[in-house]
């Protein structure tokens, strides 16, 4: 099929303002959008810049706005996008070059929720036991690949860039609801601040954006409840 | 710009992070990675990590060791394999203590499932040894190790691309890296350098590997005169998504999926009557190629079917959710009701930078270490995988030897000072960059890479012979010539990813050449290296490791004996 990619371009070395580049290519309907971007970069314009690595939706490198929606370029096929495809960088992060954005602040927020198991006391010789039911409680939020799509799609984040954002809350949830973790209090202090979970207005954009099908809003709701009742 | 560290780790996948955790607190340590750590390809690993925990049935590390040695077609060094299988057990418990969310048995223990080539009682029947977290085990390992690094304040330089390693007076003195954000070249003067930069699957057209797996670490070290070991052994995983190569884990067959040809036959019955679809990967990949060659591919094309339709919704949803979704997303196939088109996909480099069991890089057949230089993970060759790696053993390898090398390097930096830095230490790296940026040539990297990947797929994948390899050798020579005229349209400083793709291609070209020379020399068939003109294993002449050196006269091959302790070579039947 013939597709036209309309890509928002910006090169800090040259451009004062972003501009739109248009590229017509021949492609298979079953190609990934990432394949199409690669085609442009490899054969038409080597300066086109974006991040990518795994090419099958597990590393979280290539979230971008595709026809207005945050998606991973490697996880969407051309046959679902039509012949005219608009591609822009994710909203809410500083654009560095073309589709590549600055994710440092996003990742710093992730790191701020103490995303690691906190335990006190000696470790058992073998594994700690955890029932399949307890394991299931946080299964959904273990899937996060830190792609940034949810936070970028969140109107509360657009309104207030300091808001910790859905991705960080998802990662806090992953530990708060892990029966082995003993860091609940510390983590809840962090989430219970002005820029913490209470900024969430339950708008559901994050759920729609998440390429890992994490029910982000539900996770945030569970964290809110845990904060209100001070227990998980 | 020169910065000084006690130790530098190159790569932030499972191996690099594990090593960094050992080094943390022992000095000033930096981890350089061309990707943000959680984007590393360890995160793509699906099926599991092998350890004889015996949670569901009797199991012993000796059985694991036997399977690994037999799976390697007896080329693995058995002292290293023993360490691998013994330490696998404590490593998995460590991961659990760090919070890794393993799937659980009804009693709450770590769940385990069967995997290719893993057996009980030295080959009698499959055993449940692969510890897993659904089909996202690698994702969980990468996340958990990175989380521990956050906890221990490990210092990262993300999006720094290493271009060169510095060797001064027989010692390692540091690395030179390119900062993607600024385009600046930084010299890291360091007492110890630990390469954990992963594999090189992108030299083949159909591959399960990420775009970033271009063998940079292997190439950089090789260009400094350090040999590469056993590069002819490259694993093709039987079940990649047709054409795309995206992996569908062996866990599918571990849970009962079956390979079928166009006659709907379970063809593995003919090739491996005991283990059937769970035979080791080299055998299954060859079986698929044979079926295709003999006209039993689906619709006469070069793929067969992976049939999961009998597994039921519960197994697919709970144990194989990701790969089920891959089939739906990328093929539009519903695995609950339809078989999935698959073909073998370039997956894993058994070879790499030679090391001893402490992760020290060794430079000759006597295992002489190069002080201060370490390697671990897929970039390294200890060798625990020999001629063919068993599933679940790479995740063990990256963690067990990531840890050992990190620990040894921690000791090394206490006991040693910095090697002096040479004048203009960064000149090689600088020249390489400016040559591309100032090139007046007309060649596009992508065109050269296309030929490379197609030719390698055609002549150096599952089946090889002298004629094909010789033609390939010439082709690679031509590509090398064309590469001299390669250009980068992007001449900017910030995030010049085109420039880096050119540099990565240079690495792939060097490694392809080493692979081809090593494969031409090895006139026998063993594990992943199958020569149609020499279809038998030949222990009398070839039970030895290949070491390939870059010299001014081309590639020089030397050979190193295999360490055999417990298990004498036998014929390999399953
Ligand atoms: C799809 C898939 C599924 C797999 N499933 C399993 C499984 O179930 N079980 C199993 O045991 N094995 C599995 N494997 C194999 C295993 O996952 C890999 O071999 C292993 O994860 C490699 O880990 P690593 O730490 O060596 O390298 P990687 O995780 O690949 O990390 C390499 C690191 O090096 C960095 N790097 C590379 N080049 C440079 C450079 N020039 N400068 C700076 N940094 C650099 C990268 O940024 C990255 O951080 C699978 C592999 C694939 C592809
Ligand atoms: S929760 Fe989903 S959308 Fe948000 S960062 Fe994680 S994977 Fe991406
Ligand atoms: S390239 Fe890894 S998620 Fe798209």
Options 1.20.58.100, 3.40.50.300, 1.10.340.30, 2.60.120.10; CATH of B427-543? 1.20.58.100
**Active-site position among B260, B281, B464, B482:** B281
- Same domain assignment for residues A126 and A221: yes
**In this structure, are residues B441 and B487 in contact, taking their beta carbons and an 8 Å threshold?**
yes
Q: Could you tell me the mean pLDDT of each successive run of 10 residues in chain B, 574 residues long?
A: 96 98 96 98 96 98 98 98 98 98 98 94 95 96 98 97 97 98 98 98 98 98 98 98 95 94 97 92 96 95 96 94 94 96 98 98 98 98 97 98 98 97 94 96 97 98 98 98 97 96 98 98 97 97 98 97 97 87
| Separation between Cα atoms, residue B460 and residue B340, nearest integer Å | 26
- Same domain assignment for residues A86 and A114: no
| Separation between Cα atoms, residue B169 and residue B190, nearest integer Å | 14
Question: What is the 3-class SS of chain A, one letter each residue?
Answer: CEEEEEEEECCCCCCCCCEEEEEEEECCCCCEHHHHHHHHHHHHCCCCCCCCCCCCCCCCCCEEEECCEEEEHHHCEHHHCCCEEEEECCCCCCEEECCEECCHHHHHHHHHCCCCCCCCCCCCCCCCCCCHHHHHHCCHHHHCCCCCHHHHCCHHHHHCCCCCCHHHHHHHHHHHCCCCCCCHHHHHHHHCCCCCHHHCCCCCHHHHHCCCCCCHHHHHHHHHHHHHHCCC
Residue A80 CB partners (closer than 8 Å, separation 6+): none
Residue A231 has pLDDT above 70, yes or no: no
The structural domains of chain B, with segments of one domain joined by +, span 239-344, 427-543
pLDDT in tens, A153-168: 999 999 999 999 999 9
pTM: 0.97
**What is chain A's length?**
232
Q: Is the CB of A167 under 6 A from ligand 2?
A: yes
- Same domain assignment for residues A96 and A109: no
**Domain extent for A46:** 2-101
**pLDDT value at residue B389:** 96
Mean pLDDT over each residue of chain A, to the nearest integer: 96
Nearest CA to ligand 2 atom 2: A210
Of all ligands present, the nearest one to the C-alpha of A52 is 3
- Same domain assignment for residues A90 and A32: yes
pLDDT in tens, A66-91: 999 999 999 999 999 999 999 999 99
Residue A34 has pLDDT above 60, yes or no: yes
| Separation between Cα atoms, residue B504 and residue B217, nearest integer Å | 10
Q: What is the dihedral of CA A162, A165, A169, A172, to 10 degrees?
A: -50
- Same domain assignment for residues A140 and A207: yes
Predicted ipTM of the assembly: 0.97
- Same domain assignment for residues A133 and A223: yes
CATH number of B239-344: 3.90.700.10
Interchain contact, B212 vs A53, CB within 8 Å: yes
Q: How far is A13 from chain B (nearest CA, A)?
A: 7
Q: How far out from the chain centre does Cα B282 lie?
A: 15
**pLDDT value at residue B87:** 98
Name the residue in chain B with its Cα closest to that of A123: B97
Residue A111 has pLDDT above 90, yes or no: yes
- Same domain assignment for residues A221 and A127: yes
**In this structure, are residues B355 and B361 in contact, taking their beta carbons and an 8 Å threshold?**
yes
Interchain contact, B39 vs A60, CB within 8 Å: yes
pLDDT in tens, B400-430: 999 999 999 999 999 999 999 988 999 999 9
Q: What's the CATH number where A109 sits?
A: 1.10.1060.10
SS3 at position B543: coil
**pLDDT value at residue A176:** 96
**In this structure, are residues B156 and B470 in contact, taking their beta carbons and an 8 Å threshold?**
no
- Same domain assignment for residues A87 and A29: yes
Which of A83, A101, A119 marks a domain boundary?
Answer: A101
Task: Give the pLDDT band (50/70/90) at residue A229.
Answer: confident
Task: Give the pLDDT band (50/70/90) at residue A232.
Answer: low
**pLDDT value at residue A162:** 95
Q: What's the CATH number where A82 sits?
A: 3.10.20.30
Q: Which of the residue ranges A104-118, A217-231, B37-51, B84-98 would you say has the lowest mean pLDDT?
A: A217-231
Q: Is the CB of A207 under 6 A from ligand 2?
A: no
Tokens 């207030």 correspond to what residue?
A: A160
**pLDDT value at residue B311:** 96
Q: How far is B149 from chain A (nearest CA, A)?
A: 9
Tokens 């052994």 correspond to what residue?
A: B233
Instruction: From residue B131, give the alpha-carbon distance in Å to each of A143, B226, B307.
Output: 18, 36, 23
Helices (H), B416-538: 427-437, 445-459, 466-483, 497-521
- Same domain assignment for residues A72 and A143: no
Which of A101, A135, A160 marks a domain boundary?
Answer: A101
Contacts of B40 in chain A (CB under 8 A): 59
**pLDDT value at residue A194:** 85
Residue A187, both tokens: 């983590």
- Same domain assignment for residues A60 and A8: yes
How many structural domains is chain A composed of?
Answer: 2
Residue A230 has pLDDT above 80, yes or no: no
B144-147: Cβ within 8 A, 24+ apart: B144/B95, B144/B98, B144/B99, B144/B100, B145/B14, B145/B17, B145/B18, B145/B21, B145/B98, B146/B12, B146/B17, B146/B37, B146/B38, B147/A115, B147/A116, B147/A117, B147/B98, B147/B99
């Amino acid at each position: 099929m013939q597709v036209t990619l309309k890509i928002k371009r910006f090169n800090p070395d040259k451009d004062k303002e972003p501009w739109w580049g248009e590229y017509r290519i021949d492609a298979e309907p079953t190609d990934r959008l990432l394949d199409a971007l690669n085609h442009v970069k490899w054969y038409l314009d080597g300066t086109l810049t974006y991040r990518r690595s795994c090419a099958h939706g597990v590393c979280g490198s290539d979230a971008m706005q595709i026809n207005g929606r945050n998606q991973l370029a490697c996880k969407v096929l051309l046959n679902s996008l039509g012949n005219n495809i608009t591609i822009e960088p994710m909203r809410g992060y500083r654009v560095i070059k073309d589709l590549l954005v600055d994710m440092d602040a996003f990742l710093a927020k992730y790191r701020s929720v103490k995303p690691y198991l906190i335990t006190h006391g000696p470790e058992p010789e073998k594994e700690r036991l955890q029932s399949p039911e307890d394991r299931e409680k946080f299964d959904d939020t273990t899937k996060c690949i830190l792609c940034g799509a949810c936070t970028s799609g969140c109107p509360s984040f657009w309104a207030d860039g300091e808001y910790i954002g859905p991705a960080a809350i998802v990662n806090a949830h992953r530990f708060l609801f892990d029966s082995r973790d003993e860091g609940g209090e510390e983590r809840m202090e962090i989430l219970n601040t002005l820029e913490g979970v209470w900024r969430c207005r339950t708008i559901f954009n994050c759920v729609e954006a998440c390429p890992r099908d994490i029910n982000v809003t539900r996770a945030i709701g569970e964290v809110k409840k845990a904060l209100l009742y001070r227990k998980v | 710009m020169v910065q000084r560290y006690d130790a530098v780790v190159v790569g932030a996948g499972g191996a690099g992070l594990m090593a960094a955790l050992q080094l943390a607190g022992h000095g000033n340590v930096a981890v350089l990675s061309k990707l943000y750590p959680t984007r590393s390809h360890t995160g793509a690993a699906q099926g599991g990590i092998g350890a004889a925990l015996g949670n569901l049935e009797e199991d012993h590390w000796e059985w694991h060791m036997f399977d690994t040695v037999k799976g390697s077609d007896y080329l693995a060094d058995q002292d290293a394999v023993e360490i691998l299988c013994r330490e696998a057990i404590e490593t998995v418990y460590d991961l659990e203590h760090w919070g890794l969310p393993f799937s659980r048995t009804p009693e709450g223990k770590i769940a385990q499932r069967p995997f290719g080539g893993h057996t009980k009682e030295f080959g009698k029947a499959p055993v449940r040894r692969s510890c897993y977290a659904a089909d996202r085990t690698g994702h969980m390992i990468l996340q958990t190790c990175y989380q521990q690094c956050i906890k221990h304040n490990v210092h990262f330089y993300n999006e720094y691309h290493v271009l060169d390693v510095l060797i001064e007076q027989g010692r390692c003195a540091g690395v030179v890296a390119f900062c993607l954000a600024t385009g600046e070249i930084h010299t890291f003067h360091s007492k110890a350098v630990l390469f954990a930069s992963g594999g090189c699957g992108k030299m083949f057209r159909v591959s399960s590997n990420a775009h970033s797996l271009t063998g940079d670490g292997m190439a950089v070290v090789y260009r400094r005169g350090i040999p590469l070991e056993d590069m002819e052994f490259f694993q093709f995983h039987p079940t990649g998504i047709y054409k795309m190569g995206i992996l569908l884990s062996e866990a599918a067959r571990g849970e009962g999926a079956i390979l079928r040809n166009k006659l709907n036959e379970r063809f593995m019955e003919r090739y491996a009557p005991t283990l059937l679809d769970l035979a080791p990967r080299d055998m299954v990949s060859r079986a698929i190629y044979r079926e295709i060659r003999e006209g039993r591919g689906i619709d006469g094309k070069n793929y067969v079917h992976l049939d999961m339709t009998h597994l039921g919704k519960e197994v697919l949803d709970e144990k194989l959710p990701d790969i089920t979704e891959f089939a739906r997303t990328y093929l539009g196939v519903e695995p609950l009701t339809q078989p999935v088109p698959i073909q073998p996909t370039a997956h894993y480099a058994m070879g790499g930078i030679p090391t001893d069991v402490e992760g020290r890089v060794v430079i000759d057949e006597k295992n002489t270490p190069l002080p201060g230089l370490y390697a671990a993970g897929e970039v390294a060759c200890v060798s625990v995988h020999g001629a063919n790696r068993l599933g679940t053993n790479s995740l063990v390898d990256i963690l067990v030897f990531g840890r050992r090398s990190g620990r040894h390097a921690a000791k090394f930096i206490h006991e040693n000072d910095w090697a002096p830095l040479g004048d203009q230490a960064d000149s090689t790296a600088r020249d390489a960059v400016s040559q591309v940026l100032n090139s007046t040539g007309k060649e596009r990297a992508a065109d050269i890479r296309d030929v490379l990947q197609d030719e390698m797929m055609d002549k150096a994948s599952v089946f090889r012979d002298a004629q094909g390899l010789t033609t390939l050798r010439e082709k690679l020579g031509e590509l090398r010539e064309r590469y001299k005229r390669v250009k980068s349209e992007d001449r900017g400083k910030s995030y010049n990813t085109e420039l880096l793709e050119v540099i990565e291609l240079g690495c792939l070209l060097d490694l392809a050449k080493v692979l081809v020379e090593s494969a031409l020399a090895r006139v026998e068939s063993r594990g992943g290296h199958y020569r149609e003109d020499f279809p038998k294993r030949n222990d009398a002449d070839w039970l030895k490791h290949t070491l390939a050196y870059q010299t001014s006269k081309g590639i020089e091959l030397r050979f190193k004996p295999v360490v055999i302790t417990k298990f004498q070579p036998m014929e390999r039947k399953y």
